[in-house]
Amino acid sequence: MKFLSFVAPNFLAKKVIHKFRHPSIKKLRERELDMLKSAEQAKLPFRDHQICTYRWKASKAKGNGKEVFLVHGWEGQAGNFADFIPHLLDAGFDVFAFDAPGHGFTESEDTSIMEFLDVLSFLLETEQAAYLVSHSFGGVACTYALSRIDLKVKKYLLFATPNSFEERIRNIAAQVGVSERVVNLVKEKLQKESETRLEDLSVSQFIRKVHVDEALILHDKNDQVIGIDQAETVHRNWPASKMLTIEGTGHFRILRDKSTLEIGLQFLNGDQH
């Protein structure tokens, strides 16, 4: 691959970009499928797509009239929150989630960074939820959207957030095994397509324009997908945030770890950490 990076950098850059445009979605677990089946499902038209949305209502006895909006990461889907949703419902929250284009059950021949961001901006403005939860790249997408719309958020819980989308590019490039030269070509091509500098797709930049009362960042110290230094950078630049370091969950199991989910739930319920 190093040889190809030298003699055919454009070919490899196209390969990396193709991976971006065609997210690899893991097979849903039975628990995830069951949770999605239990939701009130609808498809919302957005440009050329039918966005799959999911809505769960807390029981009348427990309902508190508050809605939590869930945002999955790149190559994720709404079912990723299957272990958290029952806790939210039991606490009285209504829950809303969606599958971005090319993710989960929202079909798309290909997709892009900006398409994910634009869909999320549209949905947040439509739902007007005051409680948000994101995982991984969902943190970049969510803060970007919040910086563009006038939405006041009371509580925002971020699981395993990166600081910038460029980090995701480097992760995929590492998977493919390409050189720094190819990484720079990928960045150039993506920036040309999106008409946006990738350096500007940064949570630390977006949070300057958001209206969030309180944020809590939960990140595993040994996350092998997004280094904890990324979350620490976000925390340092965000006065409204607090951060707790988790251990033993990694990047994906953090959404299934009972004790971690309990911390997140207590935060959304108003307990301080």
* Alpha carbons 192 and 215: distance in angstroms, whole number: 33
Those residues with Cβ within 8 angstroms of residue 271's Cβ, 6 or more apart along the chain or in another chain: none
* DSSP secondary structure, 16-40, as one string: HHHHHHS--PPPPPHHHHHHHHTSE
Q: Please report which residue ranges of the chain form alpha helices under DSSP H.
A: 2-7, 9-21, 30-37, 85-90, 113-127, 138-148, 166-176, 180-194, 203-206, 228-236, 258-269
CA atoms within 13 A on the CB side of 224: 7
Return the C-alpha torsion angle 222, 225, 227, 233, nearest 10. Answer: -140
Residue 119 above 50 pLDDT?
yes
* DSSP secondary structure, 45-89, as one string: EETTEEEEEEEE---TTT--S-EEEEE--TT--GGGGTTTHHHHH
DSSP state of 164: B
In the block, tokens 């995929």 appear at 172
pLDDT band at 273 (very low <50, low <70, confident <90, very high): very low
Percent of the chain with pLDDT over 70: 92
Q: What is the mean pLDDT of the chain?
A: 89
Burial 147-159 (b: 16+ CB within 10 A, else e): bbeebebebbbbb
Q: Is 44 exposed, middle or buried (0-12, 13-18, 19+ CB in 10 A)?
A: middle
* Alpha carbons 264 and 134: distance in angstroms, whole number: 11
pLDDT in tens, 35-77: 999 999 999 999 889 999 999 999 988 888 899 999 999 999 9
Residue 19 above 80 pLDDT?
no
Residue 6 above 60 pLDDT?
no
Please give the domain boundaries of the chain with CATH numbers for all domains.
2-269 (3.40.50.1820)
Q: Give the bridge partners for 56, in sequence order.
A: 95
pTM equals 0.90
pLDDT in tens, 130-183: 999 999 999 999 999 999 999 999 999 999 999 987 777 777 677 667 677 777
